[in-house]
Each structure stands twice: as C-alpha cells, then as structure tokens.
Amino acid sequence: MAQQPDTVTRILDTAEVLFAERGFAETSLRHITSKAKVNLAAVNYHFGSKKALIQAVFARYLDPFTVRFHAALDELEARHAGGVIPLEALLETMARSVLEVPAERHSLKVFMRLLGLAYSQAQGHLRRYIQEEYGSVFTRFTELVRLATPDLPDAERFWRLHFMLGTVIFTLSGLDALRDIAEKDYGERVNVRDLVRRLRPVVVAAMNAPLPEPAPAQREVG
C-alpha cells in the first residue's frame, strides 16, 4: 500500500471505466494495463485472470452496497416494528442505498452501466457470481416487498420488480447517450439524482398498476 494509488487500485479504477464504456469482451487487458500505466502481467499476478478481475470490479461496488442496504433494511424494520413497511419506503430505501455507495467511490453512472452489462452480456460466470454472492439481500428485499403488496400475485410481483429493474438499469446505464439528446431537445441538463426523482412516481405507479387481464388460451411461441 503506497500513498500513490496502488497497482491493484489503479487497475480496478481503469478497468471499471473501460468495462463500462465498452463491455467486457471488447476491453482487452492490454488496453487496461497501458491506460493504468501498469505492466500487462500485473492483472494476472494480482487477480489471476480476466474473469476474476471483472468480478473484483463488481465486488468493489456490491460489497459496500449490500452492507449498507442490509443496514438500511434493519433500521427500516426496526422503525416499523412488527408492522408492514410501505412500498414507497422500501423503494426509497433501496434508491438511497444505491445512491450512497458510489458517492464514496466513483460515479453511479459507471455502477449502473456495469449492472446493465452484467445482465446483457454473455459472461455466464458473472451472473452466477453476482447471484451467489449477493442474491441474499435481494431475496430479503423481495420478501419485504411481498408483505407490502399482499394483493399482488407472487408471479406478477416478480415480473413487475424485474420490469422496474429494467427501467432503472436501462435508463441509468444509458444515461450518457440519453442525456445529450434530452439536453439538446429540451434544454434541460439532468443528473442522476434528477432521474431518480423522475423515476419515483413512475415506479410506484407501475407497481400499483391494475392486474393484467387473464391469459387467453395460449398457443406456444418460440
């Protein structure tokens, strides 16, 4: 550990930005190491492999997030001792936890973009890793949402949570491109907090939307 950023830290800092910009497969170790001004072999020395580097990049965000989110849920449960936590409070708490973490590290934009990539890119190992390491806090959250929305069928709630996950990740991870359009067309420069403010009523309304009409007799589709 030196006062000048550590080699490990320099690699992580550079890698997360490049991954966020270009994706995992499209970012070579040589690109990372040259921009980070470290030797090519440093990645394999410190992390073991490129896969492990990718996971380490995620861990640096997700570890503090899960800690904070668990703590925030603890506090929320204590405040509503025994009772049901309203949906708005749950969503609010999640939003706050997500917003807090990168503030002490790097940009939320990068974090969300990485999450978006984790979903969309192949990288089966990544999805498996995230599921195994951080699935529990998400399970806890969905259980609380279940209590807050007793009228929603389980399957419907499952899908709506993922709808909203898509809304948030997609928007925030594509923020850069969209921001430019929005600024040009509407003269309004948005930042992440601004978007979260806009997202709040949309997400609440979506979760509280009326149930869909029941499925008709179905024929299979590819």
Partner DNA sequence: GGAGTTTTCAAACAAATGTTTCCAACCACA
Partner DNA sequence: TGTGGTTGGAAACATTTGTTTGAAAACTCC
Applying the rule CB under 8 A, the residues between 101 and 140 that interact with a second copy are 102-103, 106-110, 116-117, 119-122, 127
Cβ proximity to a second copy: between 71 and 122 the closer is 122
CB 142 within 8 A of CB 161: yes
Q: What type of residue sits at position 192?
A: V
Instruction: Indicate whether 150 belongs to the interface with a second copy (CB under 8 A).
Output: no
Question: What is the smallest separation between the CB atom of 36 and a second copy, expressed in angstroms?
Answer: 19
Q: Which of 27, 93, 97, 171 touches DNA by CB under 7 A?
A: 27
What's the closest the beta carbon of residue 55 comes to DNA, in angstroms? 12
Cβ atoms within 10 Å, residue 64 = 16
Phi, psi dihedrals of residue 10, rounded to the nearest 5°: -60, -40
Task: Considering only residues 47 through 106, tell me which ones interact with DNA, judged by CB under 7 A.
Answer: 49-51
Indicate which single residue of 21, 45, 67, 159 sits in contact with DNA (rule: CB under 7 A).
45
How is 55-106 classified by DSSP, letter by letter?
HHHHHHHHHHHHHHHHHHHHHHHHHTTTSPPPHHHHHHHHHHHHHHHHHTSS
Count residues binding a second copy (CB under 8 A): 71
CB closer to DNA, 26 vs 74: 26
Partner interacting with residue 41 (select from a second copy, DNA, none; CB below 5-8 Å by kind): DNA
Q: What are phi and psi of 83, to 5 degrees?
A: -80, 180
CB of 5 to DNA, least distance (A): 10
Q: Which is nearer to DNA, 8 or 204 (CB)?
A: 8
Site for a second copy in 7-46 (CB under 8 A): 21-23, 25-26
Q: Which tokens hold the place of 158?
A: 């499952």
- Does residue number 200 form part of the binding site for a second copy (CB under 8 A)? yes
- What distances in angstroms separate CA 219 from CA 215, 216, 222, one per listed residue? 11, 9, 10
Cα gap 144→61, rounded to integer Å: 23
Q: Which does 83 bind (CB under 5 to 8 A by kind): a second copy, DNA, none?
A: none
Residue 153: partners with Cβ closer than 8 Å, 6 or more residues away = 211
Using CB under 7 A, list all residues that contact DNA: 2, 7, 27-31, 38-46, 49-51
